[in-house]
Structure 1
Amino acid sequence: MQMYQSQTTNPQTNYFIIDSSSSPNHNDVDFKYYSYQNQTNKQLHTGDLIIYRRSGSASEWGNEFYLYGAAQLGDVVQVDPTTGNSLLEVKNPYLFSHRLMKQNLRTFDWKFRKFKGKWSNFFNMNGITQITKEDFLGLLDRQSNLSPEFDGLSSAEESLAVKCYQAQRHELYTIEDTAKGVPTRRAADKYFSDQVKFNYHYKSALTGTSDEDKLVATRIIPWKDNKTTRLDYRNGICLTKILKKAFTQGYFTLSDQGHIILSNLNSNDPELNKTLNKYKNRKIHMNREYSPNKNYLQYHREHIFKR
């Protein structure tokens, strides 16, 4: 990857997968600070490259770990002499365009350790696992290949994607069209697309398909209509591409309970009409934590839906 070229060509660089925690006892802030026990863990050094892992115990997805970003370790900014914890600055953050779940890693050719089919004890229990340069670069390639539409973002856009991730964790969903002269749409979509797909376990909320080539994150309130909902994952539904087309064009909408409501108007696309009739009165998958905001659904019914 271009942004880590100088580090990956440096023979002194080491590579790690680290577990990051939102626990106040660790002081971790994703893509900003990393806290670790400096008395027992001596292998981390300024300039090393890391890949973030959310462990199963901290995961939002059925106790399953996932990998979600990369960064470079910076300087120690704080040392707690009582606990022996060091707080490291994190530099050059990079948000994965697709989280790497177990299903995405089954065929990955690990170099640092032989994978024998079971993940238990594969990563070190202390939350710091040293890997090889080949592992690091291979994982970056794997996530990029799963979402190639986000290749080619500028360094400024990549930085914005990380800021979008951080903003939503503080329930800040507003983003302007530009930030310091940089268009925000692609960066915001990079974060938003994977967050929505992740929430729906990389399956269509309606059809249940897990064919990722057919899946797309769909905004309920369009980007251009409201800047305060652009980053809100509850303004998103994971649909197949053909159903996204029908939804964004207003040929179907959803009730507050998630039931499909078809328009009385047919599109000029026979395949689209056939697909919609197949799912008439069906209900999308709903979850209390990430299901569509009912106010957003009401907006869609009133302003997008064709009557």
Structure 2
Amino acid sequence: MSQNKNSQTNYFIIDSSSSPEHNDVDFKYYSYQNRNNNQLHEGDRIIYRRSGSASEWGNEFYLYGAGEFGEVVGQDPRTGNDIVTIKRPYLFSHRLMKQNLRTFDWTFRKFKGKWSNFFNMNGITQINKKDYFGLLNRQVEMSNLLQLSEKEEEIAVKCYQAEKNELYFINDEVKGVKTYAAVQKFFADKVKFNYRYKSAVAGPVNEDELVATRIVPWEKDKEIRLDPRNGICFTKKLAQAFTEGYFTFNDNGHIVISPVSSPDSEINKLLNKYQNRKIHMNYQYSPNKKYLQYHREHIFLK
């Protein structure tokens, strides 16, 4: 990568496996083969793509964040690759999956209905300014979260990085900035992503109806606030019923309905419909049994 600053900003989608072995740390460092390709320069804007081969979600690629190329801070002695800082990191509020991008009005290249060869094989695809900001707007439109301040955005990125290292603690404030909104940006999308943007018990529904619900409430345990296994994706009504204790889950993932009826007749009808239903979940991301036990003992109405 050239260290000369751009006279003109260029825009790219870059693949990252977020692998320390390759000196890629999402939103912090990017390893780049400058010897073979010098198209990237300081000040260029990037959108992160997790390729299908590196994806945690059924070999499906997705876009998940953005940033700006900074300066070269080192070189990998094994490969000779430049190691570049990422400035102005920005975590998407909603990962953009294939189904979210099929209707996107791409202008840098014509999308012909198939993704094969749409992105460059070297993991660096140059797009244009219209596509770059269009993608940023698309993920904002798909989220019902409030926009964050610059400091809160930094905290959201730190949450992403901490969770990847299985560090789940976060305080109420970081350097005088309240953390709840930033954590919710990370946590809500991570939980929904783990559930493939579907309800844990109701199956496919309109995404606007989905809520990432904490099993152990935010205020009860700072040590697990970033743990996505403390979250379950529900429709809004089921989220309300779960939070108020009108149903819970046993360790096998089956719904257990409270003998106490809700004053909301719609909730009671829903619970009768889903009685004995088992949670739909990939085992790797299933709720932590300790958290479910807490919910049964302290929130579930007996």
- TM class, shorter-chain normalised? over 0.9
Cα distance between partner residues in 2 of 1:241 and 1:38: 49
Which stretches in structure 1 are left out of the alignment for 5+ residues? 1-6
1:34–1:88: 8 Å Cα contact kept in structure 2?
Answer: yes
Aligned residue in 2 for 1:110: 106
Aligned residue in 2 for 1:234: 229
Q: CA deviation at 1:234?
A: 0.4
Q: CA deviation at 1:11?
A: 6.8
Q: CA deviation at 1:251?
A: 0.4
**Which among 30, 35, 43 is matched to residue 34 of structure 1?**
30
Q: CA deviation at 1:81?
A: 6.1
**Matched residues, number:** 298
Q: CA deviation at 1:21?
A: 1.9
Q: Residue 95 of structure 1 aligns to a residue in which SS?
A: strand
Aligned residue in 2 for 1:252: 247
1:192–1:233: 8 Å Cα contact kept in structure 2?
Answer: yes
2:195–2:281: 8 Å Cα contact kept in structure 1?
Answer: no
1:26–1:36: 8 Å Cα contact kept in structure 2?
Answer: no
Which amino acid letter does the alignment assign opposite residue 210 of structure 2? L
2:247–2:256: 8 Å Cα contact kept in structure 1?
Answer: yes
Aligned residue in 2 for 1:92: 88
Cα distance between partner residues in 2 of 1:138 and 1:287: 32
Matched, 1:274 2:269: yes
Q: Residue 198 of structure 1 aligns to a residue in which SS?
A: helix
Aligned residue in 2 for 1:4: none
Q: CA deviation at 1:40?
A: 1.1
Which stretches in structure 2 are left out of the alignment for 5+ residues? none
2:237–2:267: 8 Å Cα contact kept in structure 1?
Answer: yes
CA displacement, residues 275-307 of structure 1 (integer Å, 9 cap, x when unaligned): 111111111113221000000000000000000
Q: CA deviation at 1:23?
A: 3.3
Q: Residue 283 of structure 2 aligns to a residue in which SS?
A: coil
Which amino acid letter does the alignment assign opposite residue 29 of structure 2? Y
Aligned residue in 1 for 2:143: 147
Q: CA deviation at 1:210?
A: 3.4
RMSD between aligned alpha carbons?
Answer: 1.4
Tell me the percent identity. Answer: 70
Aligned residue in 2 for 1:59: 55
Q: Residue 149 of structure 1 aligns to a residue in which SS?
A: coil
Aligned residue in 2 for 1:157: 152
CA displacement, residues 224-273 of structure 1 (integer Å, 9 cap, x when unaligned): 11111111000011110000000000000100011111111111111111
- Deviating 4+ runs (over 6 angstroms): none
Q: Residue 145 of structure 2 aligns to a residue in which SS?
A: helix
Superposed, 1:66-81 pairs within 5 Å as 66-80=62-76
Q: Residue 285 of structure 2 aligns to a residue in which SS?
A: coil
Aligned residue in 1 for 2:184: 189
Which amino acid letter does the alignment assign opposite residue 47 of structure 2? I
Cα distance between partner residues in 2 of 1:82 and 1:238: 43
Aligned residue in 1 for 2:198: 203
2:249–2:296: 8 Å Cα contact kept in structure 1?
Answer: yes
Cα distance between partner residues in 2 of 1:128 and 1:96: 19
Cα distance between partner residues in 1 of 2:21 and 2:293: 41
Cα distance between partner residues in 1 of 2:243 and 2:21: 44
Q: CA deviation at 1:124?
A: 0.5
**Which among 138, 154, 159 is matched to residue 134 of structure 2?**
138
